[in-house]
Structure formats: structure tokens, C-alpha cells
Amino acid sequence: MSFGISGTLRISNQLVKWGEMSMKSWTKNGVDTSYSDIGVSGKVGFFSLLCIACIIVVCMATAPASADSNPTVVIQNYTVTPSVLMPDSIGTVTVIIKNTASTSSITQKSGMATTVDALTQTTTDINVYIQNVHLEGNGIDVTTNDFARVGDIGPGQSIPITFSVRAPDQSGMYFPEVWIDTNGGQSTRYPIPVNVNTPVGIEKQAILVMESSVPGDANPGNEIPVILNITNAGQSLADDVTLNFETQNMSVAPRNSDVVHVGTINPGEEKSTDLVLLSDKNTNPGLIRLPIIISYNGVDGVVHNTTSGIDLMMKGVAEMGFVSVDTNPTRLAEGTPFDLTIRIENTGTGEAKQVSAKVDLPVDGTREAFIGKIKPGNDAPAIFLLEGAKAGNHPYNLTVQYTDDMGSHTITRAMNIWVPATDSSGTIIFGILVLGVLAFVGYRYWYLPRKNGNGSFPWERKN
């Protein structure tokens, strides 16, 4: 008669296999029995064999607990505020401590060991207890004490810890270390880079600087030529440089398109572009700014935008015209005083200031008038008070002087005035009548008596 007993024991994730024990032969009288597979020979009784089997069953019935994974903590993230410390300045170092085991657990198996499938498993989560968190300065002055007995962190959980630090007087890169001591897990040492006034890790970028120049004058209503110079003052190239003009609610705009493509500008390179701006005639004189958004792609492929603009000093131009010429009285008479009124109009785009007018008529009186300011689209009178002029046509020059944003100006206009001669026909007729009456009286009362008589008048007495 023969039989076999086999079992498997799992202790601390290691398998201990028990070999089969076979009984080659066995006699009821307990004689001539051998155990070749386990290297035992001799005569063993039935009860001894039974005791060995019971020991095997008991050992396999309660397998020791095993941990599926050992939990530990890591620095998930860190932040240095500010990112660059000035010498002898105060900042903070914040670290995020995380339990790496998302499902750390203890698994315990129990049951009869006749087959592996017959075992029962029990799983329990394992927390990590943080005993102490310390920041070793390594050149940085740590002003915060250690964080002792922080507590448990469950699987997959994290906790922030913040230290206050003071930068040293000397610039450079420093690497303070975070020391984390735990119970029931692995401890951690992690260096934190701290930049103290050092240009390390700063990304080199393109820096576009735009300058604008206007060769001529910027006058409302006229075309304005502009030259744009774009320089890359950075240490990285700028690709696909584009100028976008913001023309909404503006009185000045590009003549062709609101978008100008410049292209690629290498570090230290300068590119120029010419364009023509159109301006509204009603644009008020003074400084105006046409906004421009400069867009370009960096070497990292990220689109960057910067704001610039074109500054224009709009200069108004005054233009003098003449509306009317009037006299008072309307019909002049020779030698009669009169008022000469000339209305001057500003038809330009700028205000005319210090306006004055002068006439060179050969008459006495006020031949110069001061007007002052004339705004665009308005007019004002120049009044001259003159004495009587001789009869005839009198040509004269009207001279107007004024200033605007472009400077001082003088204009001259040739004019003439007609003074009719005085009408003396009534006086002549009256004189003729008086002379006729006198002639008749003389003829009748003086000439006839003398001719027909003794030459004496009728009323004279005869001696």
C-alpha cells in the first residue's frame, strides 16, 4: 500500500515547497518499511507517520501574511517662490510629498492547504507615517524648523510642506535637500535647486523693436509715407513676423492692407518696410498713435505678441480764401468817407492764428485790420475805415498774414474799387436859370430903356 502528501508554504513572498513523501511499502506488523524519497530508512510505526502528516497540514493551514508592495514617499512637485531670489532676500520652498503606493496592502491567506484555490485572502491598506520632514540648507539659510510627526499618508495621497528660507549674500545656484523620515516605509532625500540672482535656466527669446519715421509732413487729408524698421534685439530668431494694424475707430489707416508680413528676423538683424497711410481730412491736429500688434513664432513654436505703434504729429494747414467785399455806404461818392469790409475764410484743415489784413488804397484812414483766430470752415471780417476817395477806379492789393502748424504765411490778392464822380447837373441847370433871369432883367430894364429913350430908366425924374 502506498500514498503521497504534498504541500506548499508561502512565507514573505518566498515559496517553500515540501517534497512528496511516498511510502514504498508498509506492513501491518510494522516490519520491513523504507522511505527512499526523504532519505530515511528504518522501521517507523504507523503513529509516527500520522504525526508527520498532521504537522504538515497545520503548517499549511495558516500561511503568514505578505505585503504586495512596500509603500514609500516621493517629492511629487516643488515650488521656489520667487523663482529667482535676490541676495539676502526671503523666499519659500514648498514640496509636495506623496505616498507612491496607490493600493499598498497586506494580503493574508487562510484555509485548508490541500489545494491553493482553497485559501481565503484578506487585503488591508497600508499608510505611510511621516515621522519628520527636514530641509538641509547647503548654503541656504532655512528659517523654518523641522516638521515633526506629520502623520499618516494614505495610498496615493499627498501633502504640501512649506519652508521659509533666506538667500545668501553671494549669487549662484544652491541645492538644499529635503529629508523625509518615515515609519513603515522608505525614507527619502531630494535636492531642490534654488537660483540666487543667476541667469540660469532663463529661456532666450526674440525681442522685436520697431521704429517708425515719416519723411514728410503729416497733414490731415493727405497721404502719409512711413518707413518701419523692425530690429531683433534678442538672442533667438523670430519667424513669421507679422504686423497687424488696429484701425478701428482710427482716422488714419494703411492704404492697401491692415496686415503686413515681414518674414523671419534673425538675432541682431533689422528689416525695413515702406507703407503709405491715408488720413481723414477732419483729423484733429496733434499727436495721434496708430496701434500695431507684432506677432511672431519663437523657436519653440509658440506664438508671441507684442504691442507697438506709429506716432504721427498731425499738422493742420490753414488756407485763406475770400468770401465777399462790401462797402458802407454801398454806393460810393467822391470825397465821401466809407467802410470797406472784406470777409476772409479758412478753407484748410488747421487753425489760422494771428490773422491780419492790410490794404494799400491811396486814401487816408485805417488801412490795416487785426482779426485773430479763424478755425477751419469759419470766416471773419476785416473792416477798414477810410476817408473819401477821388472819383475813378482805384486798384489796390489786399495782404493777409497768418500762422498755422506749418509756420507763418503771407498771401496777397489784387483788388480794385470804383468811386463815381459827383453828379453836378442840377447845379449847372440852376446856374443857367439864374443867369437867364439876370439876363432878362438886364435886357428889359436896362438895355431897352437906354436904347429907345434918352438912356435913362423910367423911374428916373426928368429935370
Q: Provide the pLDDT for residue 395.
A: 92
Topology of the domain covering 73-196: Immunoglobulin-like (2.60.40)
Topology of the domain covering 320-419: Immunoglobulin-like (2.60.40)
Query: Tens digit of pLDDT for each residue in 223-238?
Result: 999 999 999 998 899 9
Residue that the C-alpha cell 515681414 belongs to: 262
Per-residue pLDDT tens listing for the chain (463 residues): 333 333 333 333 333 333 333 333 333 344 344 333 333 334 445 555 565 655 654 444 444 444 445 567 888 899 999 989 999 999 999 999 888 776 555 555 555 555 555 555 655 667 788 889 999 999 999 999 999 888 888 888 889 999 999 999 999 999 999 999 888 666 788 999 999 988 776 667 899 999 999 988 888 888 999 999 999 998 899 999 999 999 888 889 999 889 999 999 999 999 999 999 999 988 888 899 999 999 999 888 889 999 999 999 999 899 999 999 999 988 888 888 999 999 999 999 889 999 999 999 888 899 999 999 999 989 999 999 998 888 888 899 999 999 998 899 999 999 999 888 776 666 777 788 888 888 877 777 777 766 666 555 555 555 5
Q: Provide the pLDDT for residue 345.
A: 94
Listed in order, the ranges of the chain carrying CATH 2.60.40.10 are: 73-196, 208-314, 320-419
CATH 1.10.357.10 for the 208-314 domain, yes or no? no
